[in-house]
Amino acid sequence: MLLLRLALLSLLLSLALPARAVTLLRDPDIEQALRALAAPVLQAAGLSPARVDILVIDDSSMNAFVIDADSIFIHSGLILRMDTPAMLQSVIAHEAAHIANGHLMRRPINARNARTAAALGTALAAVAGSAAGSGEFAVGAAAGLQGAALRSFFSHTRAEENAADASGMRFLMAAGIDLRGAVQVMELFNGQEALSVNRQDAYARTHPLSRDRFRRITQLAEAQGRTVAPDPEATYWFARAKSKLSAFQRSPKWTLTRAGEFGYPDIKLMRQAIAYHRQADLRRALAAIDGAVALRPNDPYLHELRGQILMESRQIKPAVAAYARAANLAPNNALILGSYGRALLADNQTQKAVQFLETARSRDGRDIRILRDLAQANAKLGNNGMASVLTAERYAIAGRLKDAKIHAERASNLLPRGSAAWQRAQDVLFAAEAEEKRRK
């Protein structure tokens, strides 16, 4: 286990690239919506909906990719370009097909899963590197690849794309989803193969496109022979995911003029609440979110949003109450538990905050905000050694090696030698020192 941790941290740090960061958008509501949309597709693919996460990358370009068998990543820009749930589900089906068909086995980095923060940081740093010219060398050096293998490290072959198309369409058919959604997605990328690589969308660079692919997908869709009515639940969750994402990424004015476009009263109120919150109008924001909660009183994600609005408006005690309600309704949701812990910490309920933050971290180790909050909480409690090792890990994941080493050394001097936390500090030190030697 120690050797694995050392390898993960060493690879992560060697891939830390300042040229382009890859940032995850972690929101419990959006992730729940994507989980609901993905579930029938993943089941049709023989994959576990509880095991495969659908995560959003903060990137306006259109792309989707898989790194390992446990995670499908979709750019926010692609989600915002989807017009129907079937379109988004067809993207998920295609990426699920890459997993189900074993297309990841040729990539050394995919032998690990990306559920821990370190492994996820490693994988995303490699993705960033593959998109940046100088990054290709870092990826290749760390993964033991060279030459032509570098150029295709994160790309699928035409044979893999054809196989994923066929399997993905089969999964959609089995799940009762309209195959025309896949055709509409392909239409977004029409003409990409004629552009130079630098002008192509990210999706086109990693998923070879051709007229033959478009023709085959169209033929498969036509073979369905009928128009499939969208599932009401899928329609709702698609509207909710796209609405919340756009409300945070578009201007408040844009959001307010389109708040009711999907026809769901609770989604309209949710969008208005976000827009008013971003305009620092707490009165209107609370009125809108309270209206949404009144329509769906047992929806934990609306209570979580209410907590966020209050927390960011420095209304700490009401925020704690809102997050507590959300946590009671979704006691296993790591993101909600982490937010509740953060609010408790702000309310100086430090011991209770640690309880929820530790639970959140044990269920989802990929949110570096948890490391930050846990470090702060441990420092308040006088556990300076633990606070230092948590801070060292957070800096290491972010690629800030000098800072990571300082805190790891401090942790090593404060923690009992040989303890689990002390060993975590040694992992960071080993990786930081290896990076120093590499740079000399």
pLDDT in tens, 15-42: 333 445 567 889 999 999 999 999 999 9
Q: What is the mean pLDDT of residues 134-160?
A: 44
Mean pLDDT over the full length of the chain? 82
Which of 16-30, 178-192, 236-250, 333-347 is the least confident region? Answer: 16-30
208: pLDDT confidence band, cut at 50, 70 and 90? Answer: low
401-414 helix and 420-439 helix, angle to the nearest 10 degrees: 140
Q: Is pLDDT of 328 > 90?
A: yes
148: pLDDT confidence band, cut at 50, 70 and 90? Answer: very low
Q: What is the mean pLDDT of residues 288-310?
A: 98
Q: Is pLDDT of 298 > 70?
A: yes
197: pLDDT confidence band, cut at 50, 70 and 90? Answer: very low
pLDDT (0 to 100) of residue 271: 98
Q: Which of the two residues, 420 and 143, has the higher pLDDT score?
A: 420
232-249 helix and 265-278 helix, angle to the nearest 10 degrees: 10
pLDDT (0 to 100) of residue 300: 98
Q: Which of the two residues, 237 and 393, has the higher pLDDT score?
A: 237
Q: Which of the two residues, 297 and 2, has the higher pLDDT score?
A: 297
Tokens of 175: 């799940």
- Output the 3-class SS for 190-255: CCHHHCCHHHCCHHHHHCCCCHHHHHHHHHHHHHCCCCCCCCHHHHHHHHHHHHHHHHHHCCHHHH
Q: What is the mean pLDDT of residues 358-372?
A: 87
Is pTM, for the whole model, over 0.85?
A: no
149: pLDDT confidence band, cut at 50, 70 and 90? Answer: very low
Are 153 and 145 in contact by the 8 Å Cβ rule? The answer is yes
Q: What is the mean pLDDT of residues 106-122?
A: 50
Q: What is the mean pLDDT of residues 142-153?
A: 39
Q: Is pLDDT of 428 > 60?
A: yes
pLDDT (0 to 100) of residue 138: 34
Q: How many CB atoms lie within 10 A of CB 90?
A: 30
384-397 helix and 117-131 helix, angle to the nearest 10 degrees: 20
Pick the closest to residue 20 from 121, 140, 109, 131 (CA basis).
Answer: 131
111: pLDDT confidence band, cut at 50, 70 and 90? Answer: very low
pLDDT in tens, 62-93: 888 887 888 899 999 999 999 999 999 999 99
Q: What is the mean pLDDT of residues 184-206?
A: 60
Amino acid (1-letter code) at residue 277 = H
Are 181 and 172 in contact by the 8 Å Cβ rule? The answer is yes
Instruction: Describe the chain by its helix, strand, coil percentages, rounded to 5.
Output: 70, 5, 25
pLDDT in tens, 385-403: 999 999 988 887 776 778 8
Longest dimension (CA), the chain: 69
Q: Which of the two residues, 300 and 433, has the higher pLDDT score?
A: 300
Q: What is the mean pLDDT of residues 371-396?
A: 92
Q: Is pLDDT of 8 > 80?
A: no
Q: Is pLDDT of 142 > 60?
A: no
Question: How far is it, in rounded angstroms, from Cα 48 to Cα 188?
Answer: 29
